[in-house]
């Protein structure tokens, strides 16, 4: 019985069309050697490594994007702080301009009275031109100061230098030297600025610009890295001119800088 069935199966197998056999073989599942070997697709481990490398590149790309965003954000903050600092500088400069303008007006009024009271002696010593020279000097100073208000700093510096050369004994000479210091400082010529402020302090000790000159010179020394000299000047403003606006500014600067 069994032998008969085996013969029938064998006969049936050999009697099948030849095209059916390859098709049946082709339907068998293929087995890939995962332990090694070549092939166009690579091994399982090669494919896994490729996927891992691609994932790592994506992480690096995302991190780069985050760093670029952070950099842009920090740059925006720096620009905003720079803008605020420039506004603060302009406000401070304008406050000093307004104060100087008021002081100049008061000084001009006082100069007119003193010139009238001493007209006879001045006329005898200078050929009668003192009143005219005083008026011309005030006009020259106001013209130079107007250039500062117009923010034409280069022209203002030249005008103040000409004023000092033409009117070295003017009661406004201290103010002119002070504004030369401000203008040199704005042009980052710190040595020239320090010399102008020092001139106010040493040559015009009774001038109302001395406290401001001490304060500004203290700031210059701080910018130059001379902390000891800076603190000495700022302390001097507060001790010798405690009621001045410069004394309050000096105290604020030392507190903020931790000096």
- Residue-wise pLDDT for 212-257, tens only, equals 999 999 999 999 999 999 999 999 999 999 999 999 999 999 998 8
Q: Which residue has the higher pLDDT, 179 or 41?
A: 179
Q: Residue 119: pLDDT band by 50, 70, 90 thresholds?
A: very low
Indicate whether 98 belongs to any domain. yes
Distance (Å, rounded) from C-alpha 143 to C-alpha 164? 13
pLDDT at 85 over 90: no
Indicate whether 70 belongs to any domain. yes
Indicate whether 26 belongs to any domain. no
Q: In the structure encoding, which two tokens stand for residue 106, read together?
A: 């008061």
| Per-residue model confidence as pLDDT tens digits over 199-224 | 999 999 999 999 999 999 999 999 99
pTM (two decimals): 0.52
Indicate whether 157 belongs to any domain. no
Indicate whether 179 belongs to any domain. no
Concatenated DSSP letters of 95-120: HHHHHHHHHHHHHHHHHHHHHHHTHH
User: What pLDDT score was predicted for residue 78?
Assistant: 78
Full domain range(s) for residue 65:
57-102
Q: In the structure encoding, which two tokens stand for residue 168, read together?
A: 């070295």
Tell me how crowded residue 108 is: count the other CB atoms within 10 A of its CB.
18
Chain-wide mean pLDDT for the chain?
73
Rounded to the nearest angstrom, the gap between the alpha carbon of residue 214 and the centroid of all alpha carbons in its chain is 25
- Residue range 102-114: mean pLDDT, rounded: 43
Please work out, in degrees rounded to the nearest 5, the angle formed at the alpha carbon of residue 161 by the alpha carbons of 159 and 164: 110
Element (H, E) at 181: helix 173-186
Distance (Å, rounded) from C-alpha 127 to C-alpha 132? 11
pLDDT at 62 over 60: yes
Q: Residue 71: pLDDT band by 50, 70, 90 thresholds?
A: confident
Indicate whether 61 belongs to any domain. yes
Total domains in the chain come to 1
pLDDT at 195 over 60: yes
Distance (Å, rounded) from C-alpha 36 to C-alpha 26? 24
Query: In angstroms, what CA-CA distances link 190 with 101, 181, 220?
Result: 25, 9, 7
User: What pLDDT score was predicted for residue 160?
Assistant: 96
Indicate whether 165 belongs to any domain. no
Contact 185, 173 (CB under 8 A): no
Contact 156, 179 (CB under 8 A): yes
C-alpha count within 13 angstroms, C-beta hemisphere, residue 46: 11
Indicate whether 68 belongs to any domain. yes
């Amino acid at each position: 019985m069994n032998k008969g069935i085996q013969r029938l199966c064998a006969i049936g197998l050999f009697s099948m069309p030849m095209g059916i056999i390859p098709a049946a073989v082709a339907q068998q599942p293929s087995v890939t050697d995962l332990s090694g070997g070549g092939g166009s697709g690579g091994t399982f481990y090669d494919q896994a490594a490729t996927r891992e490398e691609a994932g790592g590149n994506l992480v690096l790309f995302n991190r780069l994007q985050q760093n670029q965003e952070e950099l842009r954000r920090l740059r925006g903050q720096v620009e905003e702080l720079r803008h605020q600092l420039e506004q603060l500088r302009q406000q401070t400069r304008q406050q000093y301009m307004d104060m100087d303008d008021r002081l100049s007006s008061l000084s001009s009024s006082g100069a007119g009275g003193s010139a009238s009271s001493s007209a006879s002696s001045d006329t005898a010593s200078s050929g009668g031109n003192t009143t005219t020279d005083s008026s011309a000097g005030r006009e020259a100073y106001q013209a130079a100061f107007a250039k500062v208000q117009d923010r034409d700093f280069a022209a203002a510096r030249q005008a103040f230098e000409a004023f000092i050369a033409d009117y070295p004994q003017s009661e406004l000479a201290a103010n002119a030297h002070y504004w030369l210091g401000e203008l040199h400082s704005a042009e980052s010529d710190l040595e020239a600025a320090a010399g102008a402020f020092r001139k106010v302090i040493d040559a015009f000790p009774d001038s109302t610009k001395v406290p401001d000159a001490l304060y500004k010179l203290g700031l210059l020394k701080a910018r130059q890295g001379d902390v000891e000299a800076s603190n000495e000047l700022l302390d001097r403003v507060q001790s010798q001119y405690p009621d001045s606006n410069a004394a309050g500014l000096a105290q604020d600067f030392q507190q903020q800088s931790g000096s």
